Amino acid sequence: MSAVPRHAPEPPLRAAPVAGTPAPGQPASVGTGQLPDGLVAVVKRECPTCVLVEPVLRGLGAAVWCQDDPTWFDHDDTALELSYRLDVETVPTLLRVEDGVETARTVGWSREQWEALTGVPGLGEGLPEHRPGCGSLSVDPARIDALEARYGGSGLASRRIELADLEDEHEALFDRGWTDGLPVVPPTPERVLRMLRGTTRDPGEVVAVVPPDLVPCTVEKVAVNAVLAGCLPEYLPVVLAALEAACADEFALHGVLATTHFAGPVVVVNGPVADRIGMNSGVNALGQGNRANATIGRALQLVVRNVGGGRPGEVDRATLGNPGKTGSCFAEREQGSPFAPLAADRGVPGNAVTVFAGSGVQPVVDQLSRDPESLARSFAACLRVNAHPKLPMAFDAMLVVSPEHGRVLREAGWDRPRLLAELDGLLRLPAGELVRGAGGMAEGLPPGVAADEVPKFRPGGLLVAHAGGDAGLFSAVVGGWVGGETGSTPVTREVRT
């Protein structure tokens, strides 16, 4: 059984209502009925303390449910419904029920506590005064997800898709169009509920309205797609923040999708959350091999596809695209960086994501510069060819500075504003070299440019981040899409952990 990853017109099937430990004065239910009045116990046969108190329970005439052997006592709880609904954490658990209401509870074996609960003196002659109980099967980590899906009260609003016995679940997800061309993890209710534990946000909260179909997307729908992508629950807050950023009006996600350009969302993560969830900011940070990096970016793209309807060949009209459109995400390497964290410089300190409409990676090789002025000139020369060397003020870019290049800047005391100011001066281009026909190239600015010099990037159109391995005098330019009011502006949002 899988949960449908996008909102659908059919009314959703919902899980059972919430049922936890009854508060005093509330009905103590079992299944669809109520517990019998009197003494009620939950045990399991593999628990030595449960075996120890068997004669006591039989002498009291208690109604006993057993978790692992339906033949031991009169009542069978091998499905663990009673244990789950009563929130039994330890066996044996002894309850007193009056008029269908739980009025007292004790766990393990304590002669004093059992006598107080039952009102019967002299219990368990020959037994020790006290023995701790054992863990209930209903809180076994291997079972809790299935029990919550079966009996839990939070419910899932997504439709359920039943697969035939002989239907391959992975092929079924391909057939339904829920994948990005790679296999995905089937979003069973158990997996979705487990994913939702990664956030305290309500599953029904609308996170964003997702282009191009402008579909309201809830936390639950993000969780479904995070499962599909292969995320762990602790990644979910980052995925939620990335979606909020990508769906902000200024990011222009519909345009990023509909353009024939290469671009797709690139997610840069800052703050302690990156280390906590094991993101890669070092060796091969822009490449493969790290689960958090790969699946967070992929989850965002799957939400856009499955919830928003942004599918290649339909609204997504990229002429060529780029491999990062499967998912592009990395953590900024804050340790040893010459720069303040990118998100902090953009007004959001701490845990945050910045989403940029990136179109691929262009290498920057400079193995000889040992002063920041020379290195900045190398950066500027490579940045000048972003999209086209004769097209200024149009396409944004992100410069990812590696640690070895960053060391040159750090030792000279150059921070991000200092580097950007230097690059701005170096990237003021002679207008005569940019007009159409100059250099034998038809592409370029129309004739009649008023200024003598034109900046390569619009204000705010060049981002600078720090990432990569310790060895290698290589940095990178991540080309962007059209920036500003006619295109996409990078967006930074807090990660709510």
pLDDT in tens, 390-411: 999 999 999 999 999 999 999 9
**What whole-number distance in Å separates Cα of residue 245 and Cα of residue 253?**
10
Q: Return the number of other C-beta atoms located less than 10 Å from residue 144's C-beta.
A: 19
Angle at 213 (CA atoms; ends 355, 494), nearest 5 degrees = 25
147-162 pLDDT, tens digit per residue, is 988 887 657 899 888 8
CB neighbour class for 257 (10 Å; exposed up to 12, middle 13-18, buried from 19): buried
93-131 pLDDT, tens digit per residue, is 999 999 999 999 999 999 999 999 999 999 999 999 999
Residues 434 and 297 in one domain: yes
- The Cα diameter of the chain in Å comes to 105
Examine the pLDDT at 225 and tell me if it is beyond 60.
yes
Tell whether 250 is covered by a domain: no
The CA–CA distances, whole Å, from 311 to 96, 258, 260, 490 equal 58, 10, 13, 22
2-43 pLDDT, tens digit per residue, is 555 543 332 222 222 222 333 444 444 555 457 899 999 999
- The length of the chain is 497
Rounded to an integer, the average pLDDT of 62-77 is 97
**What whole-number distance in Å separates Cα of residue 237 and Cα of residue 231?**
11
354-403 pLDDT, tens digit per residue, is 999 999 999 999 999 999 999 999 999 999 999 999 999 999 999 999 99
Q: Which two tokens stand for residue 352?
A: 């945050």
Examine the pLDDT at 134 and tell me if it is beyond 70.
yes
Tell whether 285 is covered by a domain: yes
Residues 284 and 425 in one domain: yes
Q: Return the number of other C-beta atoms located less than 10 Å from residue 486's C-beta.
A: 9
What is the CATH classification number for the domain harbouring 54? 3.40.30.10
Pair 394, 480: CB distance under 8 Å: no
Closest C-alpha to 211, from 130, 265, 277: 265
Residues 295 and 441 in one domain: yes
**What whole-number distance in Å separates Cα of residue 282 and Cα of residue 331?**
8
Pair 329, 296: CB distance under 8 Å: yes
Strands 474-482 and 491-494: unpaired
Query: What is the distance of C-alpha 53 from the center of its chain?
Result: 46
266-295 pLDDT, tens digit per residue, is 999 999 999 999 999 999 999 999 999 999
Torsion of CA 293, 298, 299, 300, to 10 degrees: 100
Q: Which two tokens stand for residue 437?
A: 């026909």
Examine the pLDDT at 458 and tell me if it is beyond 90.
yes
The CA–CA distances, whole Å, from 358 to 395, 442, 467 equal 10, 26, 16
Q: Which two tokens stand for residue 84?
A: 């789950």
Closest C-alpha to 20, from 170, 208, 148: 148
DSSP string, 268-327: EEESHHHHHTT---STTTTSS--HHHHHHHHHHHHHHHHTT---BTTTB--SS--GGGG-
Tell whether 40 is covered by a domain: yes
Pair 239, 246: CB distance under 8 Å: no
Tell whether 172 is covered by a domain: no
Tell whether 166 is covered by a domain: no
Examine the pLDDT at 183 and tell me if it is beyond 60.
yes
Residue 319: its H or E element: none
Q: Return the number of other C-beta atoms located less than 10 Å from residue 229's C-beta.
A: 27
Q: Which of 139, 161, 193 is the last residue of a domain?
A: 139
**What whole-number distance in Å separates Cα of residue 222 and Cα of residue 228?**
10
Q: Which of 112, 139, 166 is the last residue of a domain?
A: 139
**What whole-number distance in Å separates Cα of residue 331 and Cα of residue 385?**
26
CB neighbour list of residue 70: distance below 8 Å, 6 or more residues apart: 76, 78
Q: Return the number of other C-beta atoms located less than 10 Å from residue 31's C-beta.
A: 11
Pair 294, 247: CB distance under 8 Å: no
Q: Taking the model in full, what pTM does it have?
A: 0.85
For residue 343, the enclosing domain spans: 262-494
Q: Which two tokens stand for residue 49?
A: 């303390």
Residues of the chain with pLDDT > 90, as a percent, come to: 86
Tell whether 323 is covered by a domain: yes
Residues of the chain with pLDDT > 70, as a percent, come to: 93
The CA–CA distances, whole Å, from 96 to 37, 42, 193 equal 8, 12, 32
Q: Which of 101, 124, 139 is the last residue of a domain?
A: 139
Tell whether 295 is covered by a domain: yes
The Cβ-side half-sphere exposure at 63, using a 13 Å CA radius, reads 15
Considering its fold, how many domains does the chain have in total? 2
245-260 pLDDT, tens digit per residue, is 999 999 999 999 999 9
Tell whether 253 is covered by a domain: no
**What whole-number distance in Å separates Cα of residue 420 and Cα of residue 426?**
10
Q: Which residues pair with 40 in a beta bridge?
A: 63, 95
